[in-house]
Chain A
Amino acid sequence: MTRLDSPSERFRFDRSTYERPNKTWRCGRAAAWGKPCPLGPKGDGSCGGTTACNPHFDEEHQRWECRRPNSVGGPCAEGPKPDGTCAHCQPPCVPRRTLRAIRGRLALLCLLAVLAAIGGTLTYGAGSGDDLNSLSAGPLSASHARFVGEDCASCHTGHQEGLGTWVASIFHDNDMAENCLTCHAFAGEQRTAHNFELAALPAGLPEHLSTKTDCTSCHVEHMGLDGDLTRVSDAQCSTCHTVEMESFADHVAFDPNFPSRRRTTVLFDHASHLGKHFPQAGAAAPESCLDCHIVDRAEASVPTLGFDATCASCHAGDIDDRAMTVFSVPEFSAEQFTALDHEYLGELCPSRGSPQFYQSLIAARAAVADGEEFGDFESIAFGEAIDPVTQWLIGSESDEIYDLAADDPVVDDLLWLYLDIAESGVTPLADLMDERGGGVVPGRNLIAGLSDATLRQAVCAWTSNVDVAEDPPVGGGWFVDGLALRYLPTGHADPVMRAWLDLGVAAPAIAFEEDAGIEQAVVMRDTLIDARQGPGACIECHGVSLASDVALAEDEEVDESMAVAVDWSRMDQPWSPYVGYSHGPHISLLGQGTACTFCHRLDEAAVLGEAFQTFDAMHPASSFLPIGKAQCVDCHGGGDDHQAVVVAQGQGCLLCHDYHLDSAFRHQMAEMPEKTE
């Protein structure tokens, strides 16, 4: 009766074969679920089992011996053939690979497939925008894609040359930020935190402030067309700003003067106007903030309607009668007058009289100078000083024309100026203003509207001892008043007045730079900005401030070397270039005109005038009380109120703060490709 082997029989040494699954080939018969031959496949994958054994030649007995394994019955009765071949032949099988060999081939296949995929996709598509390209890091943002297109080398320097450079760039640092800065520019230093000017920072600040920043630390590209490069998380700000904040309620307290970093640009005392002047004005008084401020255009500041719509009803008259003297020289002494080329002057001013007349005029002036009375020439205005503006213009150290000798260069220049004006009109005067003003304000702007005829006529008159007395033109303009050329403003923001004030406040710094005529420049400036006369009317409201707009050190004082400018713009500077605030959404939410006082609370005790007594504007002065954090927390603090929670959601540091300082583009990025036919 047939039976199955017990486990102990199955694994008996002479019944069991030794399996070697780590070999490459296995018997083809076993692969076909047949009985495998004991010899198994050869190493080259061919069948090794065409015979039952490989007979062995016994040297001692000089005969072949059967070597059939015991597992398949042991040595056969027939034994090997005389030629040493096995007597039991069987057809060969087709060996198959073992599972391990198949695994190895699969691994090789996978490896090659990946290599092929990398190589095959290298040239797929045009560049970074193609996801299938293995060099692609993903499509660019819309803003960069528009400029860069598919030119990877614009940012990745390793990409621009051949394969050698590409491989070499593996071992070289790739300073991406420098590539960014070929197109992007910022005010201040390009690669410091917040674009700080390191030299301007106080000593003792943390060392990391001087560390070079890397654009890619915050800005992540290749996030697709909708990728927002400017999106920065609060955690990134927390790298340096380590104040723990659960919400805006934990924000550090605002500066006690916020939002007044400096005095306002225009001296307008809201408290005195609201409390005193407007009630006195009666019907013309505004009823609410909206009567003066344009909330529809509210952004960081809320612009006003302007002088004509808001101030003119009361203050227009303060400007109309403020004529200024631009050029005024007393009559020359006899010697000085003699030095004039009267023949030439006679040609230029034919109506002024004959040469004989001038001879008698010269003699008369000499006599008058000696204290004698001489006919009509008694009324000559001896002893009058040169006007400060003219003194600066002609570069005279003295305001007494008679102190100067006839051959003094100043007199000579002045005489030639007269002749030039008599010949050419306003151009020589404009040229002289250009020369003296250093180009700060064009000379033509300083005498805009002055006609050649008016000036020539005035010069001819002054050299003829003819007294010119014109009435100021109606509505403002140039006129000659005795020995002076004067200008009456046409109204608010008169361009000539503004030009003279710009020149006047800049003159001391110009003179300091040239190291000449500083005193004259200071006198001219002080004359022009004197609120009691001429263009000083403008300075009654507009501040004059240091152009640098940087707070002076405690032991530092304003001196003539510092550039000064008139604050013409009504827009006050922001608290900080890194702090932004937009009135617009707040007004939309709170309602126009109803909620200004929610933040802007009038300071009844505010005194603004003192802050305008100096050119150093960095002294906070406002008609309103400072704004504290508490006024923002109600909505932005994320409290229990539903609206507060809604407002607080999604807001971060960037809601109010900017990282960079005035970002811009460099010009070269706008270079256009050459046109092709």
Chain B
Amino acid sequence: MTFQGSLRFALRMALGAGAVVLVAVVALIDRSQRLDLLHPELVTGWVLLAAVVFLALLNVRKKLSMVPVGRASDWVAAHVVLGVVVIVIYAFHARAIWPSGYELALALLFYAVILSGLIGYLLQRMAPASLANLGYEVIWERIPAELADMRERIEASILECARETGSEVLPRLYREELAWYFRRPRFVLASLVGTGASSSWVHHRLDSVSIYLRGKEIEHATFLRECARRKVHIDRAYAIQGLLKCWLLVHVPATYGFLVLVLWHLILVHVYLV
């Protein structure tokens, strides 16, 4: 292991140990204050708020990539570890799974943030391996261009086939069925689960006409099969990468709503209780 690698490993270990210590300290304070008939909710609440604010700072860190405040991967690691710690501190603080009144909305938003975060973390751990196993690399934003380029080449091949053979088998197949398939990513859910529906669908169509193909038509059909194979990869890449991006559509908005409600909660606590 290189020095840099050792340093990062030590940092991760320190992060984990710090999280355990933080949880232990909060648990001790909570128990101590509860036994002293004080209000540990105040302490756990402020710790929770500080942790949530730190978690939210990851977004700021992303925007300020030019500022040397640690590696992004370290920030993400801290974000994940502290995210788990926050669940424990929240349990100490709220002591209720389904509180009543506006606190129910606060709890629901917290659960949405935490659940989406956990899902996102799991996706980030699992999805890269799935993408690597595809054997085909494509940037999510460039998929429309890839498909457009593929369609251009397929249509050029189909026209060439029609000119050379005068047969309508492949042009008709493409016009009536395959054009829909190559238009955009299809079978997204099936691709995500990995059922092979996309591959089955397109190869079934190609197989159904294969007995009518002769000479040059077979070469063009082979090209179509090659495009279909790549399209299957694109469909799966689109589904997996889309999922990697879409969980943030829940996580980030829920975080904003949660922070606003936390501020309101803070005000109410200090007006009515403390």
- B272 is contacted by which of A1, A36, A174 (Cβ under 8 Å)? A174
Please, how many angstroms separate the alpha-carbon atoms of A34 and B184 in the complex? 9
Taking CB as reference atom, which chain A residue is nearest B223?
A: A2
Q: Is the CB of A115 within 8 A of B148?
A: no
Distance, CA A111 to CA B258, complexed state (A): 8
Contact assessment for B102 and A118 in the assembled complex, using a CB-CB cutoff below 8 Å = yes
Evaluate contact between A218 and B271: CB separation under 8 angstroms: no
Chain A contacts for B255, CB-based, 8 A:
107
**Shortest distance between the CB of B165 and any CB in chain A (Å):** 13
Distance of A239 Cα from B34 Cα, bound (Å) = 8
| Mask: chain A, 171-192; 1 = CB below 8 Å from B; 0 = not | 1011010000000000000000
Q: Is the CB of B102 within 8 A of A111?
A: no
Residue numbers in A under 8 Å from B230 (CB-CB): 4
Are A138's CB and B256's CB within 8 A? no
Say which size band chain A's interface belongs to.
35 or more
> Is the pair A107, B256 in contact by a Cβ cutoff of 8 Å?
yes
Q: Are A107 and B271 in contact (CB under 8 A)?
A: no
The proximity string for B residues 253-266 relative to A, scoring 1 for CB distances below 8 Å and 0 otherwise, is: 11111001100100
B31's nearest neighbour on chain A, judged by CB, is: A235
Determine if A158 and B219 form an interchain contact, defined as CB atoms under 8 angstroms apart: no
A102-B249, A158-B272, A169-B271 are known contacts. Are A3 and B256 too (CB-CB below 8 A)? no
Measured CA separation A454–B37 after assembly (Å):
69
Q: Which residues of chain B have C-beta atoms less than 8 A from A166's C-beta?
A: 271
Q: B255 → chain A, closest Cβ, in Å?
A: 8
A279 contacts the other chain (CB 8 A): no
Structural contact, B145 and A17, CB atoms closer than 8 A: yes
Q: Does A218 lie within 8 Å of B37, measured CB to CB?
A: yes
Interface-facing stretch out of A128-136, A399-407, A550-558: A128-136
Closest Cβ–Cβ distance, residue B145 to chain A (whole Å)? 6
CB within 8 Å: A-B pair count: 140
Asked, given contacts A1-B223, A4-B153, whether A111 binds B260 with beta carbons under 8 Å apart, the answer is yes
Q: How far is the CA of A21 from the CA of B256 in the complex (A)?
A: 21
Contact across chains for B223 and A131 when beta carbons are under 8 A apart = no
**Pick from A30, A136, A217: contact of B38, CB under 8 Å:** A217
Interface status of A170 (Cβ within 8 A of chain B): yes
- Nearest-neighbour CB distance to chain B for A217, whole angstroms, equals 4
Return A584 CB to nearest CB of chain B, in Å. Answer: 32
CA distance A656 to B266 in the complex (A): 40
Q: Which residues of A contact B19 (CB under 8 A)?
A: none
Please judge, given known A-B contacts A21-B141, A118-B102, whether A170 and B271 are in contact too, CB under 8 Å. Answer: yes
Complex contacts, B36 vs chain A, CB 8 Å: 239
Interface residues of A in 134-163 (CB under 8 A from B): 134-138, 156, 158-159
Chain A residue at minimum C-beta to C-beta distance from B261: A114
Asked whether A249 is an interface residue with its Cβ less than 8 Å from the other chain, the reply is no
Q: Which residues of A contact B35 (CB under 8 A)?
A: 235, 238-239
In this assembly, does B100 line the interface, its C-beta being within 8 Å of a C-beta of chain A? yes
A36 near B144 with CB under 8 A, answer: yes
Cβ contact of A31, chosen from B105, B144, B160, cutoff 8 A: B144
Among residues 23 to 66 in chain B, which have CB atoms less than 8 Å away from a CB atom of chain A?
34-39
Interfacial residues of chain B within 200-252, with CB under 8 A of chain A in the complex: 219, 223, 226-227, 230, 245-246, 248-249, 252
Give, as a whole number of angstroms, the nearest-CB distance from B169 to chain A: 17
State the Cβ distance, B96 to closest chain A Cβ, in Å: 11
Contact in complex: B256, A108 (CB < 8 Å): yes
In the complex the two chains form, is B257's CB within 8 Å of A176's CB? Answer: no
Q: A residues within 8 A CB of B226? A: 4
Q: Inside 8 A of B268's CB, which chain A residues have their CB?
A: 135, 137
Q: Is residue B152 within 8 Å, beta carbon to beta carbon, of the partner chain?
A: yes
In the bound complex, what is the Cα–Cα distance between A420 and B19 (angstroms)?
95
CA distance A121 to B101 in the complex (A): 11
| Given known contacts A114-B260, A236-B37, A33 and B183 CB-to-CB distance under 8 angstroms | yes
> Is A214 positioned at the interface, with any CB of B under 8 Å from its CB?
yes
Cβ-based interface call for B149 (8 A): yes
Complex Cα spacing A53 to B149, Å: 20
Return chain B residues, CB-CB under 8 Å to A21. 140-141
A235: chain B residues within 8 A (beta carbon): 34-35
B102 pairs with A174, CB closer than 8 A: no
- Pair B145/A36 contact, Cβ less than 8 Å: yes
CA distance A169 to B268 in the complex (A): 10
Q: Is the interface of B mostly helix, strand, loop or mixed?
A: helix
Q: Which of B137, B153, B245, B264 contacts A2 (CB 8 A)?
A: B153
In the complex, B270 has a CB within 8 A of chain A: yes
Contacts of A121 in B (CB 8 A): 102
Contact with B along A20-38 (1 / 0, CB 8 A): 0100001001110111100
Inter-chain contacts of B11 with A (CB < 8 A): none
Shortest distance from the beta carbon of B67 to any chain A beta carbon, whole Å? 17
Query: Nearest chain-B residue to A169 (Cβ)?
Result: B271
Of A19, A26, A133, A171, the residue contacting B139 (CB under 8 A) is A19
A224 to chain B, nearest CB (A): 8
Contact of A114 among B136, B248, B257, B273 (CB under 8 A): B257
B147 touches A176 (CB 8 A): no
Would you call A176 and B253 a contact (CB within 8 A)? no
Residue among B156, B183, B223, B257 facing the most chain A CB atoms (10 A cut-off): B257
A600 proximal to B (CB < 8 A): no
Does B157 touch A at the CB level, under 8 Å? yes
In the complex, chain A residues 215-252 whose Cβ is within 8 Å of any chain B Cβ: 216-218, 235-236, 238-239
A10 CA / B149 CA spacing, docked (Å): 11
Alpha-carbon separation in the docked complex, A239 to B33 (Å): 9
Q: Is the CB of B105 within 8 A of A117?
A: yes
| Residue B20 is within 8 A (CB to CB) of chain A in the complex | no
Interchain CA distance A117-B264 in the complex, whole Å: 11
- Cα A133 to Cα B248 in complex, Å, equals 30
Nearest Cβ distance between residue A265 and chain B, in whole angstroms? Answer: 38
Which of A17, A113, A131, A169 interacts with B100 by CB under 8 Å? A131
Within the complex, what minimum Cβ distance (angstroms) separates B61 from chain A? 14
Q: A19 near B273 (CB under 8 angstroms)?
A: no
20 contacts between A and B (CB under 8 A): A1-B160, A2-B156, A3-B223, A4-B230, A29-B144, A33-B184, A34-B144, A99-B246, A103-B249, A103-B253, A106-B249, A107-B255, A131-B104, A137-B272, A159-B272, A173-B274, A217-B37, A235-B35, A239-B35, A239-B37
Chain A residues proximal to chain B, CB less than 8 Å: 1-5, 7, 10, 17, 19, 21, 26, 29-31, 33-36, 99, 102-103, 106-111, 113-115, 117-118, 121, 131, 133-138, 156, 158-159, 166, 169-171, 173-174, 176, 213-214, 216-218, 235-236, 238-239
A2-B223, A7-B137 given; 19 more Cβ-contact pairs under 8 Å: A2-B156, A21-B141, A30-B145, A30-B148, A33-B144, A34-B148, A36-B145, A106-B253, A108-B256, A110-B254, A114-B261, A121-B102, A134-B102, A136-B102, A137-B101, A137-B272, A138-B101, A174-B271, A239-B37
Considering the complex of A and B, which 10 residue pairs feature the smallest CB-CB distances, nearest first? A217-B37, A35-B148, A110-B253, A30-B144, A110-B257, A33-B184, A2-B157, A134-B102, A106-B253, A107-B253
